[in-house]
Amino acid sequence: PTILVAAQLLEISEVYKCGGAQAIAALAYGTGTIPKVDKIYGPGNSWVTEAKLQVSQDPRGASCDLPAGPSEVMIIADEHADSAFIASDLLAQAEHGVDSQVIFISDSAQQLQRVRVETQAQLEELPRKTIALESLSKSLFIEVSEIAEGFQICNDYAPEHLILQLENSRKYIDLIENAGSVFLGSWTPETVGDYASGTNHVLPTDGFARTFGGLTTESFMKSMTIQELTPGGLQELGPVVETLADTELLAGHRNAVRIRLERLTLGRLSSKTLSEQQK
């Protein structure tokens, strides 16, 4: 019901309840009840991911976002950060699923230890404790000799979500090369990105933040270039085209320009007249 209310607020008038690889096929190719779409975005399990890959390689299918792996969070914090805040952010990620990726990096051994203790304490209170415990058991707590080293690890791992709880977190922005979405300072838990901060929540996982950004409005658009030359424009650019076509030994390419330039030189600009002459 909450999703339907959100759809109504956004004036989305068509909603289909379906899932699995068959839903992807239905959307990509259309069925008697579901119309074909051009773009399919959003996460899914491994069957859905494979289906999305297949339809996106078919020009008659639909374009899709990147294959989505398990969700990931990396937190880089110094000794000044609030250990309880860090623990709550790690647990918010850990409760997602048993394969959630949770990494905490600090240059302070004390902070690492405090967060361990605090995480254990907060874990006890969570309804999804069993799930969180399993993903936490595979989490990494990394001590670095200086904070800059943490950003090297970050750029190699390319986390979906990166939280910085550092004194003056903003000054480290230039060190971030690869991350999906970044959360700065003590008062920006990753969960505000999930629900309310306004940034997109469909983000690259599994290291894809190295080469791709998250979903944007532009993901729903495509571009098309349109060009129109005037006779004078063709007289200016035409010789360049002829030269380059010659270097590629493509006489037909050159000819498409030459035949037009000859017409212009002859001063016969009206193509109407020309085609009538040819009759």
Residues 136-195 that bind its own copies (CB under 8 A): 158, 165, 169-170, 173, 176, 179-195
Q: In whole angstroms, what is the distance from residue 275 CA to residue 258 CA?
A: 18
CB of 21 to its own copies, least distance (A): 18
Cα–Cα distances in Å, from 143 out to 107, 136, 207? 5, 17, 21
Q: Which of 11, 160, 167, 218 is catalytic?
A: 160
Residue with the two structure tokens 């909603």: 15
Based on CB atoms, which residue is closest to its own copies, 2 or 33?
A: 2
CB of 87 to its own copies, least distance (A): 9
Q: What x/- string results for residues 243 through 272 when contact with its own copies is judged by CB under 8 A?
A: -xx-x-xxxxxxxxx-xx--x-------xx
Options 25, 43, 88, 155; binder of its own copies; rule CB under 8 A: 88
Residue 52 has φ and ψ, to the nearest 5°, of -65, -40
201 is catalytic: no
Residue 173, token pair as written in the block: 């922005």
Buried b (16+ CB within 10 A) or exposed e, 87-111: bbbbbbbbbbeeebbbbbbbbbeeb
Options 11, 13, 32, 127; binder of its own copies; rule CB under 8 A: 127
Sign of CA dihedral 211, 217, 220, 223: negative
CB of 102 to its own copies, least distance (A): 11
Q: Nearest CA to 203 among 255, 250, 162, 253?
A: 162
Q: Which of 161, 177, 228, 242 is catalytic?
A: 161
What number of chain residues touch its own copies (CB under 8 A)?
110
Options 24, 74, 94, 102; binder of its own copies; rule CB under 8 A: 94
- Measured between its terminal Cα atoms, the distance across the chain in Å is 69
Q: Could you say which residues in the range 190-229 bind its own copies, by CB under 8 A?
A: 190-200, 206-214, 216, 218, 222-229
161 is catalytic: yes
Q: How many CB atoms lie within 10 A of CB 175?
A: 15
CB of 149 to its own copies, least distance (A): 20
Residue with the two structure tokens 């030189």: 265
Based on CB atoms, which residue is closest to its own copies, 142 or 186?
A: 186
Q: Could you say which residues in the range 46-65 bind its own copies, by CB under 8 A?
A: 53, 57, 59-60, 62-63
Options 30, 35, 42, 233; binder of its own copies; rule CB under 8 A: 233
162 forms bridges with which residues in the sheet? 74, 182
Q: What x/- string results for residues 10 through 29 when contact with its own copies is judged by CB under 8 A?
A: --------------------
Q: Is 24 helix (H, G, I), strand (E, B) or coil?
A: helix
Residue with the two structure tokens 């399993």: 134
Residues annotated as catalytic are 160-161
